[in-house]
Amino acid sequence: MPEKPRKRSIFDVMGEYVEAFDALADEMLEATFPEGPSWNTETCCLQALSNVVVTSREVVVTADMPNIEPETVKVEAVDETLIQITAKMKKKVRFTDLGIYHRQGEFSSLRCQNRIQVAFDSEKMKIAFIGGVLEVRFPRKS
Amino acid sequence: MSEAVKIVEKQTIPSEATMIVGLPDVGLVGLIATSYIITELNLEEIAYMDSDLLPPVMVLHKGLPRAPLRFYGNKNFIAVISELAVPAPSVYIVMRKIVDWGQAKKVKRIVSMGGIPVENRQAITEPEVFGSASNQELLDTLTKSGVKVMNEGYMVGPQALSMRYSINSNIPSIAILAQSFYNYPDPQAAAIVLKELSKILDINVDVSKLLEKGEEIRLKARDIMKRTQEEMSRMKKSQEYDMPLYV
């Protein structure tokens, strides 16, 4: 006689939901914090830490930009959803300056890219550089 | 079954010391401040944590492998740092072990240093320091030292657990927290916390070198900040922005 399939308890079902939710949360975290080095020896760039805050009126992008020449800051809209910030460093930094001798390379700029999930007006951005942190404000498009 | 977390002692551990805890957290304030104090007070490595609950990582310094979570000390102080972000699910057991070990070593108090995330940090030229303590007497001591009390709010993560387990174990415990960036390394906030710590513990720590090296530290700390941010998200660290309700 074929074995009767065991009826799943509510706890089994809930367990499956929790596992699926955990997997989704991990996937989201991986998308937010992609793996990979925070430097690029080909472009001589170090990746700057950055943050995006979306309010009802504007999009505020900040980036931690130590050791840069403020007048070299460039903020570009790569496309309708992607903002790129770059700036030249006051002094080139080599791996050896950071105590690392098993890699070779030097870095002359800081760079970050941020994907913006809402429509914004890149023509009307306002830039401020205070205490080594760059703040760029874009009005949202209605 | 082997112990999930163990602390391996490399030399005799002092009794009656003050334990200073600086694990990676908001703005890496505690980690930067504690690392600096280790260098300034010339503390020696006295123990390290070994656990399968921590990522499979060793850190190389001057060619030699070191455990990422280490204890430094002299006869008066034990300083705890971690060069990796403690995974959110392991933070309970790691903090419980640190506090239990401190109790076994008869530490006289536990001080945790850290940051309070403030959204407009870049507009603040001189971050303020706030304190919290495990009892009223200690809180009064903080106030007398000029530290403002963090009246209402939430603490989340290693500092919260340090406080919770210290209270359970009846170890006097204080937290000294400076306004800081949430996810950018903040050496200036670390320097300000250290100034307050110097007054409270009556020690002399010159923070000028820390401030001079601020930009270099911010460049070097980008990776650990990024990984710490991942763990802070898992711990729901943003709850520190919330307002508690107690009517």
Asked if A67 lies within 8 A of B216 by C-beta distance, the reply is: yes
| Closest approach of A10 to chain B, Cα-based (Å) | 25
Mean pLDDT of chain A: 86
Q: What is the pLDDT at residue A23?
A: 65
Q: Which of B122, B185, B227 sits opposite A130 (nearest CB)?
A: B122
Sign of CA dihedral B61, B54, B172, B192: positive
Asked if A51 lies within 8 A of B183 by C-beta distance, the reply is: yes
B181 interaction partners in chain A (CB closer than 8 Å): 64, 133
Q: What is the pLDDT at residue B1?
A: 45
Among A84-93, A109-118, B232-241, the minimum mean pLDDT is found in B232-241
What are A74's strand-pairing partners? A86
Which residues of chain B, if any, have pLDDT below 50?
1
Q: Does B215 touch chain A (CB under 8 A)?
A: yes
Q: What is the pLDDT at residue B151?
A: 85
Q: Which of B122, B182, B230 sits opposite A29 (nearest CB)?
A: B230
pTM value?
0.88
User: Which of the residues B125, B215, B223, B234 would you substitute to probe the A interface, choosing the one with the greatest number of A C-beta atoms within 10 Å?
Assistant: B215
B residues 17-76 near A, CB within 8 Å? none
Q: What is the pLDDT at residue A19?
A: 74
Domains of chain B: 5-241 (3.40.50.10900)
Q: Which of B218, B220, B233 sits opposite A29 (nearest CB)?
A: B233
A33 has pLDDT over 60? no
Q: Does A132 touch chain B (CB under 8 A)?
A: yes
Identity of the amino acid at A69:
E
Q: How many CA atoms lie within 13 A of B81 on its CB side?
A: 24
A22 interaction partners in chain B (CB closer than 8 Å): none
Asked if A32 lies within 8 A of B234 by C-beta distance, the reply is: no
Contact A109, A89 (CB under 8 A): yes
Q: Does B108 touch chain A (CB under 8 A)?
A: no
A residues 70-109 near B, CB within 8 Å? 93, 98
B214 interaction partners in chain A (CB closer than 8 Å): 66
d(CA B78, CA B134): 19
A139 has pLDDT over 90? yes
Q: What is the pLDDT at residue B198?
A: 92
d(CA B182, CA B199): 26
Q: Does B234 touch chain A (CB under 8 A)?
A: yes
Asked if B220 lies within 8 A of A135 by C-beta distance, the reply is: no
B182 interaction partners in chain A (CB closer than 8 Å): 51
pLDDT digits (tens, 9 = 90+) for B74-122: 999 999 999 999 999 999 999 999 999 999 999 999 999 999 999 889 8
Q: What is the DSSP letter of A58?
A: E
d(CA A62, CA B85): 23
* B109-117 vs B173-180, strand pairing mode: parallel
Domains of chain A: 39-139 (2.60.40.790)
A35 has pLDDT over 80? no
Residue of A nearest to B119 (CA): A53
Asked if A47 lies within 8 A of B123 by C-beta distance, the reply is: no
What value of ipTM does the predicted structure carry? 0.86
d(CA A112, CA A78): 12
**Strand runs labelled E in chain A:** 39-40, 45-47, 50-54, 58-64, 74-77, 82-94, 106-115, 126-130, 133-139
Asked if B219 lies within 8 A of A46 by C-beta distance, the reply is: yes
User: Which of the residues B182, B219, B233 would you substitute to probe the A interface, choosing the one with the greatest number of A C-beta atoms within 10 Å?
Assistant: B219
Contact A49, A64 (CB under 8 A): yes
pLDDT digits (tens, 9 = 90+) for B120-132: 898 899 999 999 9
Helix residue ranges, H only, A8-137: 10-32
* B18-22 vs B109-117, strand pairing mode: parallel
A30 has pLDDT over 60? no
d(CA A64, CA A50): 6
B185 interaction partners in chain A (CB closer than 8 Å): 64
